[in-house]
Structure 1
């Protein structure tokens, strides 16, 4: 996701916000009191936060009670207040009336939580005020400590499985297996239900039968639901499978002796972001298109390209979600395909998107940000989704990437679920209703993440995150994790993940957990924003932890504007602002463009340092500033405490590809060769920065999605990678789907119709080769891997920064290197007088590299002048 919530998803209806009248002391027994209309299903203005305390939004601060059971049993509440520790744990509730549970009734809590529960007050005229009760806090207080130590899901000992599920509010839980129902036993201290099976249970499908009160429908139900700790699934996630991931039959050849490339520290990581289906769906040289096994096709065009990137310095492939998700039919026979001759339509036609959209909900394509089971590989990428083939083939995929010289990062999405409540795609919420999802103050499920939000601040959701990540690391040998919307997690939860991974050792677990990298989206928005509920895992808060967050500051500066501008032509550093303006009125006057461009250059300087908060330099106004004093939309630009805290990027799966953004922003007359040069220059702002950097797969090949800004459900036609340049780069495959792009069609149509914007093979190959040259320079020059702010401050400077800085040109000195990024159309001369007499020459990788224009860059020692062609990034090295 980008820094503003982005995906078009089906949203839940807003929860009812009915606030009932105030009440006074209840004096009669509940069976004698006046009747009241029941609270609407799902409404829960009261929150039972621990065994002693209830908070009730909108209540009178007078006596109240909790009612439960068929006979109207009750727990008495008296007016109280939050303790300091309660206020710290629930800062968003500090303004609401608090009530204390009568000590005589505390023993009733466990019983009360296993059925319908209402908070009740009675007004002086006899009318009752009732509302539902949110229970996560008290469940954690009563059961969390012991439940956190439980091993959940299927566990094998001496060949016999034990199945365990946490369901503290359930009346009964049973196992459905072999067409029969097997009772499970409840541990009253932890709320965990268990059953031990026989050896012949191995490989069999099962579900849990959970009888529980469901607030969203206001009644007790028996849910047939899969295991949230599933280790394997049948097709379309219909049943869990009793599976031991340590079964030797699930281990590919060589699995116990992994031949991984050497681990690369996060601060030096260069990452390719890649969607599994995009990789091979249209690769005619792949024997397994769209599957995990495509990464074992060593001779395919895609794998050849990944190996070339690895040889150049790419260290990780970041896979978009590969856990079990809800939206793609897993059996190939069930997957719809567009019924049109898509290639026959004009490049600016709306026919392609119309045809693709008609089958989008039933085709094989989705990014996968709609989790169903967090710890099982997605079945639609397997040759057979109906069993453990997906386990074996995921492991073979990891082996294939390792053999290409690449380590594997998984994109994980623990911040929301595909659905909640009684929806058939809801797993967690049908086992412990109202616990795993984050609830708003009225009891409605938070949806700021785009979907039904989860609550990793609750003990058992936090445990699920940690347990799941550890399983992927230990059982699938995944080398890193990227957390979707990490800012919706507590910082403590992500640090718990780090701690659990650090405990993994090669001797005990087969992996060195300390070498596993972590990064994520540290955006600050929604109901958790500004640490409203807990200290979040946001950009600012994660500084100094060694866990990186995406740096949107430099991204916006290099592209121009923001991802959601109404006019996509707003320019930036690498898209021609001021130095090569287009006609968009939103760019402002020449003076305004110049001022904004120079500010963008300050943002990029901070980005090149690793986005360090305390790095000091002279900005373009001539003032000495820290990175944290440079403004980014009212927030500090620099927030990192050390290189490795911020991840640089110019494009990712969200929003338009870099090529498509430049298609909108560069003047229409810009030719393919110059567009390619600007692409490489934009990529260089990330590739040559301190700290980790990520690029979207195919960006070095000028990848286009035909201007689609949100292609999560746009099918292979708009998304597939084209490794063979004879197939083009994806531009001109029709107007992008209307749902998220129609407002941009007036800008898109003339561009898509222009054949000059479809690059040929020479242009595509040249851009890729030039980008790989930059990766080689980064990989071979130690100065790009500085470990502390002090070292960056000492080694890195911007000698021409100040009031006389050239708009559109950045000059960076880094140890024995000088890097000049010339985003203007013209050859530029950058004189660094302090270097007069020094011996510099163009870096040999570029001097003998693929781009002969860059090879003409020169240095004059007599004046200390670096001369760089237009639209070029040149790296010079001293002492040659």
Structure 2
């Protein structure tokens, strides 16, 4: 499904015309010209309940963003939408998806999955099709559509309640005489959602006994046919979890002599293991699985099964669903099948399990966020394995003017941790077409426990992607860099196609009261971490990555979708492996149907010790709101922002009644000004200060980064921030070309002085414990704010037995300011507008100091 917009459904990507008008122009590309068509499309849509309010049609041309089209006419079939699709080429397809939009959520509900138009009249360039609710078939002739009366759904809402829906209305008061259940189950009473109506297509049937989910009855409705009842809302009850939650190991349990397969699918009537000879095979050997405890299914294959290709298959009602095992640790190309692996065979030469660089408190971390492809794909990167795990691991690479690139650049910068955007197997890049340029951030999970194949030198070989990722991790460890992984357990790419939904429909996701999928993530679905088997999966998955890949931390995308208990269980499980493993996340307060007191967001940070939240207060305080393009902050000219900056400087803790945000401890705050989301800081400065000179923008940029790296909490830098990275105005580059997303090593050479300045700030931060206090009481005792002019923030951090007192001054004014020092002793200058580091740049004597425009000054008492 092609949807334009931000990965969380918030923003629209700027056009290339705007992009080209900004600071740099993009390189010209030669595009092969082929004949394109504009096709007139007519779509007839039928909903069997006649409820069309809010429904519209989302349509797109292949490999292009989609657009919403209204239903503007009616006929005897239903609603009609007419529109044009442009830019179609030979062999292209047209995608269709009916959706229901509401004022607060344009993706409130979607009808089933994508439909595809594969043919049209090429002489007239037009096509007319018929689609209907709940089916993915596209009909080119209305006569082919079967709208005869039938049962659309019969599902168990509660242990003694069945919900039935039909595609045609019926007189509900007579329905009891026409409906029967098998296995001797009697209908005790019926209930219509609206008893005032004489006809309906939806009823609730109350039975005389509790229903067996693994052996449900068959329902017969005179005039509408028969259907096996399936589990419905009942899977989201507390009783369901109590009855079926399983604590043991799941997935393929490999041993050289045999492999045990264990699957959790308590609502299935049967389950099968399907073994394939080749990844392209459509049919495989089906092996019946036996029912086990707590809704599990098991079978065993004797002998060494390393390399065996498999899927799982379950019968839900009258339908068989085939899915990749969610616990598969290896997958075929594009992740369409699982692979049994002896993981010992995936270890690269020199692999050192559980050995990693030494590390102290979380506040000692300086995190550098990057993307595997971004780091190396530039033609002047000097890196051989461009866009690959192995490219990250290359050493000794150079770019323009001999500057260090890739890993050497990161190491030279002096950071402690490298955080990678998603490196698990994601859906949006076709691993069979890697000779074509493809890009995605990767926030569209497909297989959570296997690496992404497009980052491997051979995506067809399941061991290669694992070995090369491990090699990358090991190389970074050897260079004394720790590794964080960005994890996205809050949603899946497509619910209908997800293994979770195929194996246990309705269980793993949150639903609104009206039965539609919750959408706090903004991408159509929210996973339900509060349910015990979703929580177990998250904990199992994170601990697998930590153990098998020796990872040092996890960044939880949209962590606010999850619940507090799940995040605390993740923290507890990782503490058993290595307490120094970092957990950071986006603790935003998102609109998902979960008790507010249980949401893993900033408001509940006090309930989650050892888990850090990105601090959007200082982010927006420094540069302006990310949701308002022209809004400015402290560094780019907005007055009255001193309080917001002070709140960030103290690490988000309750420093005083006036200065308090969400953190109980500085290790719960990630201090930052830019990340992969939204405009880069440089692009934000261009938007908010269009008349400023490049030199003035450099000063603003440098000031913002210096505040981040001298504040309490966990420091975070976006890759390229050190050379004032631009994405040419593209604030949502989740699938934009390499020319937008890649790290520009030419820019790194041009901005060499700026890089040296950031290197100096990092060196200073790591050398001075005063910037990395871990005890909130110590921050309150030692950090004191000074009186200073408007649009400045000045403070001291008192010395200890081994540390000297520091004075830090941030001046956001376009003019110099005079700041009164706490005493008239001599002070060594460590940071000024030109240089930063641990070396003394000069000495200040007297009661005042002059601070240059848009700059930071750090003084150390002699």
Q: Does 1:704 align with 2:704?
A: no
Q: Does 1:552 align with 2:649?
A: no
CA distance in 1, matches of 2:449, 2:837: 45
Instruction: Evaluate the alpha carbon distance shift between residue 307 and residue 322 of structure 1 in structure 2; reply closer, same or farther with a 3 A threshold.
Output: same
Secondary structure of residue in 1 paired with 2:819: strand
Corresponding residue number in structure 2 for 1:279? 375
CA distance in 2, matches of 1:475, 1:181: 30
Which one of 457, 462, 467 corresponds to residue 392 of structure 1? 467
Summarize the alignment of residues 340-489 of structure 1 with structure 2, pairs less than 5 Å apart. 363=438, 365-386=439-460, 387-421=462-496, 423=497, 426-449=498-521, 450-489=523-562
Corresponding residue number in structure 1 for 2:36? none
The offset of 1:306, in angstroms, is 4.5
Corresponding residue number in structure 1 for 2:783? 796
The offset of 1:429, in angstroms, is 0.8
CA distance in 2, matches of 1:195, 1:516: 36
Aligned pair count? Answer: 687
Instruction: Evaluate the alpha carbon distance shift between residue 689 and residue 69 of structure 1 in structure 2; reply closer, same or farther with a 3 A threshold.
Output: farther
The offset of 1:569, in angstroms, is 2.8
Q: Does 1:170 align with 2:157?
A: no
CA distance in 2, matches of 1:829, 1:871: 13
Q: Is the 8 A contact 1:115 1:169 kept in 2?
A: no
Q: Does 1:831 align with 2:814?
A: no
Q: Which has the higher strand share?
A: 2
Structure 2: segments with no counterpart, 5+ residues: 1-5, 14-64, 67-96, 101-107, 112-147, 165-171, 192-203, 222-228, 278-283, 799-804
The offset of 1:430, in angstroms, is 1.1
Structure 1: segments with no counterpart, 5+ residues: 19-35, 80-98, 119-129, 214-219, 338-362, 505-512, 578-596, 617-624, 629-637, 730-760
**Which of the pair has the greater relative contact order for Cα pairs under 8 Å at 6+ separation?**
1
Q: Does 1:326 align with 2:427?
A: yes
Q: Does 1:564 align with 2:627?
A: yes
Deviations for 1:411-433, whole angstroms, at most 9, x for unmatched residues?
Answer: 00001001012x4xx22111111
Instruction: Evaluate the alpha carbon distance shift between residue 766 and residue 673 of structure 1 in structure 2; reply closer, same or farther with a 3 A threshold.
Output: farther
Instruction: Evaluate the alpha carbon distance shift between residue 307 and residue 415 of structure 1 in structure 2; reply closer, same or farther with a 3 A threshold.
Output: same
Pairwise CA RMSD of aligned residues?
3.6
Q: Does 1:648 align with 2:671?
A: yes
Q: Does 1:873 align with 2:856?
A: yes
CA distance in 2, matches of 1:690, 1:242: 46
Instruction: Evaluate the alpha carbon distance shift between residue 77 and residue 609 of structure 1 in structure 2; reply closer, same or farther with a 3 A threshold.
Output: farther
Instruction: Evaluate the alpha carbon distance shift between residue 678 and residue 467 of structure 1 in structure 2; reply closer, same or farther with a 3 A threshold.
Output: same
Q: Is the 8 A contact 1:309 1:772 kept in 2?
A: no
CA distance in 2, matches of 1:117, 1:476: 53
CA distance in 2, matches of 1:384, 1:681: 44
Deviations for 1:181-240, whole angstroms, at most 9, x for unmatched residues?
Answer: 343334353111111112243202111122214xxxxxx322222111111111111211
Corresponding residue number in structure 2 for 1:659? 682
Deviations for 1:564-606, whole angstroms, at most 9, x for unmatched residues?
Answer: 22xx2322111123xxxxxxxxxxxxxxxxxxx22x2101101
Which one of 702, 716, 719 corresponds to residue 694 of structure 1? 716
CA distance in 2, matches of 1:230, 1:487: 27
CA distance in 2, matches of 1:200, 1:655: 49
Q: Is the 8 A contact 2:651 2:666 kept in 1?
A: yes
Q: Does 1:607 align with 2:635?
A: no
Deviations for 1:324-370, whole angstroms, at most 9, x for unmatched residues?
Answer: 00000113x45534xxxxxxxxxxxxxxxxxxxxxxxxx2x100000
Q: Which has the higher helix share?
A: 1
Q: Is the 8 A contact 2:374 2:387 kept in 1?
A: yes
Secondary structure of residue in 1 paired with 2:828: strand
Q: Is the 8 A contact 2:369 2:419 kept in 1?
A: yes
The offset of 1:781, in angstroms, is 0.6
CA distance in 1, matches of 2:505, 2:328: 19
Summarize the alignment of residues 749-760 of structure 1 with structure 2, pairs less than 5 Å apart. none
CA distance in 2, matches of 1:792, 1:166: 49
Summarize the alignment of residues 222-233 of structure 1 with structure 2, pairs less than 5 Å apart. 222-233=320-331
Corresponding residue number in structure 1 for 2:702? 680
CA distance in 2, matches of 1:292, 1:648: 28
Corresponding residue number in structure 1 for 2:210? 106
CA distance in 2, matches of 1:308, 1:710: 25
Deviations for 1:367-397, whole angstroms, at most 9, x for unmatched residues?
Answer: 0000000110000000011121000011011
Instruction: Evaluate the alpha carbon distance shift between residue 72 and residue 770 of structure 1 in structure 2; reply closer, same or farther with a 3 A threshold.
Output: farther
Q: Is the 8 A contact 2:763 2:837 kept in 1?
A: no
Q: Is the 8 A contact 2:368 2:419 kept in 1?
A: yes
Corresponding residue number in structure 2 for 1:819? 808
Summarize the alignment of residues 248-327 of structure 1 with structure 2, pairs less than 5 Å apart. 249-256=345-352, 259-282=355-378, 283-301=380-398, 304=405, 306-307=407-408, 309-310=410-411, 313-327=414-428
What TM-score, normalized to structure 1? 0.72
Secondary structure of residue in 2 paired with 1:376: strand
Which one of 240, 251, 260 corresponds to residue 153 of structure 1? 251
CA distance in 1, matches of 2:232, 2:406: 56
Q: Is the 8 A contact 2:246 2:533 kept in 1?
A: yes
Corresponding residue number in structure 1 for 2:845? 860
Corresponding residue number in structure 2 for 1:336? 436
CA distance in 2, matches of 1:865, 1:174: 78
Corresponding residue number in structure 2 for 1:539? 602
Secondary structure of residue in 1 paired with 2:547: helix
Corresponding residue number in structure 2 for 1:756? none
Instruction: Evaluate the alpha carbon distance shift between residue 392 and residue 287 of structure 1 in structure 2; reply closer, same or farther with a 3 A threshold.
Output: same
Which one of 284, 287, 301 corresponds to residue 183 of structure 1? 287
Instruction: Evaluate the alpha carbon distance shift between residue 175 and residue 115 of structure 1 in structure 2; reply closer, same or farther with a 3 A threshold.
Output: farther
The offset of 1:301, in angstroms, is 3.8
Instruction: Evaluate the alpha carbon distance shift between residue 682 and residue 603 of structure 1 in structure 2; reply closer, same or farther with a 3 A threshold.
Output: same
Corresponding residue number in structure 2 for 1:778? 765
The offset of 1:451, in angstroms, is 3.2
Deviations for 1:795-827, whole angstroms, at most 9, x for unmatched residues?
Answer: 111111xxxx42221112112100111122222
The offset of 1:555, in angstroms, is 0.6
Q: Is the 8 A contact 1:290 1:381 kept in 2?
A: yes
Corresponding residue number in structure 1 for 2:566? 493
CA distance in 2, matches of 1:132, 1:13: 25
CA distance in 1, matches of 2:392, 2:756: 22
Corresponding residue number in structure 2 for 1:134? 233
Which stretch has the larger CA shift, 549-558 or 161-170? 161-170
Instruction: Evaluate the alpha carbon distance shift between residue 851 and residue 664 of structure 1 in structure 2; reply closer, same or farther with a 3 A threshold.
Output: farther
Instruction: Evaluate the alpha carbon distance shift between residue 503 and residue 233 of structure 1 in structure 2; reply closer, same or farther with a 3 A threshold.
Output: same
The offset of 1:105, in angstroms, is 2.1
Deviations for 1:49-98, whole angstroms, at most 9, x for unmatched residues?
Answer: xx589999xxx9xxx99x9965784575899xxxxxxxxxxxxxxxxxxx
The offset of 1:563, in angstroms, is 1.4
Instruction: Evaluate the alpha carbon distance shift between residue 676 and residue 316 of structure 1 in structure 2; reply closer, same or farther with a 3 A threshold.
Output: same
The offset of 1:447, in angstroms, is 2.6
Q: Does 1:13 align with 2:112?
A: no
The offset of 1:547, in angstroms, is 0.2
